[in-house]
Structure 1
Amino acid sequence: MSLQEMFKVAGATAIVTGGASGIGRAYGEVLAENGARVCLFDTNQGMLDETVAEIASRGGEIWGQVVDVTDRAAMAKAFDQVAKKHDRIDIVFANAGIDAGPGFLTPEGKRNPEGAIDALDDDHWDKVIATNLTSVYNTIKLAARYMKPQGSGRIIATSSIASIYNEPIVGTPYMPAKAGVTHLVRQAAMELGRFGILVNAIAPGPFATNIAGGRLKIPADRKAFEDWSVLHRIADTSEIKGLALFLASPASSYVTGTQMIIDGGLHLRPAD
């Protein structure tokens, strides 16, 4: 198999949740740039339209649907629309997620009362879990329904370095939600392998995105993550494209049930 064939996704049908910006947009771009037929799901109509138009202007076959990943009925309908349009679903990136707010410590190491566990708002906890974990479960569930009959498929969930490394400056609900994604990926990989479906996770570290309202634009927060990274910098979203294409393509044909870390070495930081 040639290098071009190894990374071939041309003609494949792909869905990316949370695809209008950030890491999700990077997933959509690399797939469309390499010939996949891509549908982006997002709640932000304006940003979704802009992203679709920009990628399409470069020759990509791409379209979008406004859908809330926590709305199970809407997600089922959106998947059905993709299947009707393209006859099949080959690649699904379960990427949509939200920030959990500040943690119990500030970047300077001072206690933050608002982030203390006894002060957490229960509705906020429920929202983070629903968006960052339950929606991934539902996305995998829907993907499996379409992929099992065809005997093939790739499902890639966006986890986080927070799934293996607890972080005091990040809101508490974020860690268990992302750890849950990691275990869910392994469980789904065990079940779906016999149907030719590979299930994996990407665990990003600090990337320059709009999550947390662009929190990494705050100097203190940005410096903290830059200092913890072995490379001493924040990643650009374009730097995740290679890993995404690998997991979506034949190059990863014997890879399933794993989580691939892309964090600039942040997980190597010794505990304080």
Structure 2
Amino acid sequence: MPTLAIVGAGPGLGLSIARRFGAEGFRIALFSRDQNKLDRLAGELAADGIEAAGFAADVTDRPALTRAFDAAKERFGPIDVLEYSPAPADPHSGPLAPVDALDLTVEAAQPQIEYHLYGGITAIRQVLPNMLDRGEGTILVTTGASSGPVVHPPFANIAAASGALRNWVLNLNSALAPKGVYAAHIAIAAWIGKGGPRSHPDVIAESYWELYRARTEPELFYLDPEMRAAL
């Protein structure tokens, strides 16, 4: 039975992705900071007949994230699909708060780099060697659309860090293609669950399944049409 690992699991898109893949026979390894939240999500998935377990770790604590993956692999075995999409507890305050392009400093960029790029590298390194050994596997990395497809100066520090992660994933897609491993970036231009019908988590999750099944595109730009006026 294959295993999907979701880094940044929550009650919105993460849960919908877990349910969509779980409906296809995947077991689910859930990662976020809060073990209580993870246990609740695993319980919801269990009620749907999906085997799931949570492994608490902060993506900015690289040793802790590595230990969490070790625990997940001990429980489920090799990870077949990794979905990396961490979400900050509060994006409007603290070190991860957005900073405008005119005000960007090294100090404002560093927490986002730790969060997006270094966290993403760490998570992917936990699954990539085994995928290469087996000659199969899928890596899906999610960011907001300011990572590249959309220019949004008020999110300059987020864009700089998530854009670096996006660039690496696109390069991974090219480098891994001959080796049987698929990597893709998903850029979401939607207020998830708060916009039009295409913003609903279950609708977005279906796009992840389609991307996983097709294994052809290096990137999906997912746009809620109601966001067009804001872009």
- Spell out, residue by residue over 1:43-89, the C-alpha distance to the aligned partner (whole angstroms, 9 max, x if none): 02222221111111111111111111122222222222222223321
Question: Aligned residues, how many?
Answer: 225
- Distance in 2, Cα, partners of 1:244 & 1:25: 12
Which residue in 1 is equivalent to 2:39? 49
> Out of 76, 84, 88, which is 1:94 matched to?
84
**Whole-angstrom CA distance in 1 between matches of 2:16 and 2:85:** 11
Residues 186-265 of structure 1 correspond to what in structure 2 (within 5 A)? 186-208=170-192, 235-248=199-212, 251-253=213-215, 255-256=216-217, 258-265=218-225
* Amino acid in the other structure paired with 2:180: G
CA distance change for structure 1 residues 36 and 159 in 2, over 3 Å: closer, same or farther? same
Please report the RMSD computed on the Cα atoms of aligned residues, expressed in angstroms.
Answer: 2.7
Question: Which of 151, 166, 170 does residue 166 from structure 1 map onto?
Answer: 151
Larger radius of gyration: 1
Whether the 8 Å CA contact 2:32–2:38 is kept in 1: the answer is yes
Offset at residue 147 of structure 1 (A): 0.9
Amino acid at match of 1:31: F
1:106 maps to none
Q: Is the 8 A contact 2:55 2:72 kept in 1?
A: no
Deviation at 1:270, TM superposition (A): 9.0
User: Are residues 135 and 37 of structure 1, via their aligned partners in 2, closer, same or farther at CA, if it must alter by over 3 Å?
Assistant: same
- Rounded Cα–Cα distance in structure 1 between residues aligned with 2:167 and 2:160: 11
Instruction: Compute the TM-score of the two structures, normalised by the length of structure 1.
Output: 0.73
Please tell me whether the aligned partners of residues 14 and 39 of structure 1 are also in contact (alpha carbons under 8 angstroms). Answer: yes
Structure 1, unmatched stretches of 5+, are 1-10, 103-113, 210-215, 217-225
Identity across the alignment (%): 21
Contact 2:99 / 2:108 at 8 angstroms: preserved in 1? no
State the 1:15 CA deviation: 0.4
What amino acid maps onto 1:136 in structure 2? G
Question: Could you tell me how far 1:124 is from its partner in structure 2?
Answer: 4.4
Distance 1:121 1:270, change over 3 A: closer
Alignment partners' CA distance in 2, 1:115 and 1:158? 20
Q: How far apart are the structure 1 equivalents of 2:100 and 2:220? A: 30
In structure 2, the gaps of 5 or more residues are: none
- Shift of residue 117 of structure 1? 5.0
Give the match's secondary structure for 1:68.
Answer: coil
Letter in 2 for 1:92: L
Structure 1 residue ranges, 4+ long, deviating more than 4 angstroms after superposition: 114-124, 266-271
